[in-house]
Amino acid sequence: MAVKIKELKLDIERIGTISAILMQPANARACYVLAHGAGTDMRHASMDKIAMGLADRGIATFRFNFPYMEKKLGRPDQPVVAHATIRAAVEEAARLCPGLKLVAGGKSFGGRMTSQAQSKAPLPHVKGLAFLGFPLHADKKPSTERAEHLAQVTIPMLFLQGTRDGLADLGLLRPVVDGLGAKATLHEIAGGDHSFAVLKKSGRTNDEALTEVLDTLAAWIDALA
């Protein structure tokens, strides 16, 4: 299957220029605006694997660097900068992929910044948000404060969460998702950590766990109105 890969530069007003990658299979029926986690960039091996796996399933991805990662600064951007970056990425993805169903989200920090942006003002054309490991709290600091803004999100949300995720105590996340009602879906990856890696004793491989993540994500995107 032919996959078109386009490297881009995106100018964000008052913020600067960032890099982006559109990976679009010939038969694409949707595009996922995929934001990276706090400690990785858009080219990290895990992001490549996700993008390629989704391309195999007929879903395009639009990846981008947050400004701090573009400039190789250690500290993540302030939310206002992250939100503006996500908004610009979504607008560019919509422009480059006319007619494709648009969803947004991403890994950890990237997914949380996307839901914050959506809660403040709807992201144009976005039909749903998908989180690849929602960081509900800092490691070993159980709390639900980071989820409070989700009540303001009115579009469907998918939470893909490992059962060993140190940044999301499922005893706290399950009631949060339940409280969001029919718009929110939680899919638990048995034995997965924050990156969906599994222990050898689980009897399955990291690739098998990732296959479950991507199959679930693709099916959820297809089911979106």
b/e 48-77 (16+ beta carbons within 10 angstroms → b): eebbebbbebbbbbbbbbbbbbbeeeeebb
The span from the CA of 220 to the CA of 129, in Å, is: 10
pLDDT at 225: 83
CA distances from 36 to 77, 121, 131, 132, 182 (A): 13, 21, 11, 10, 27
Walk me through the domains of the chain, giving residue ranges and CATH numbers. 3-223 (3.40.50.1820)
pLDDT at 19: 98
For the segment 4-21, what is each residue's pLDDT rounded down to a tens digit? 999 999 999 999 999 999
Place 1 in a pLDDT band, splitting at 50, 70 and 90.
confident
For the segment 18-61, what is each residue's pLDDT rounded down to a tens digit? 999 999 999 999 999 999 999 999 999 999 999 999 999 999 99
Within 135-179, strands assigned E span 157-162
Read off the pLDDT of each residue in 71-92 and give the average, rounded to a whole number: 96
Mind spelling out the 3-state secondary structure of 77-101? CCHHHHHHHHHHHHHHHHHHCCCCE
For the segment 124-155, what is each residue's pLDDT rounded down to a tens digit? 999 999 999 999 999 999 999 999 999 999 99
Q: How many CB atoms lie within 10 A of CB 219?
A: 12
The span from the CA of 170 to the CA of 92, in Å, is: 35
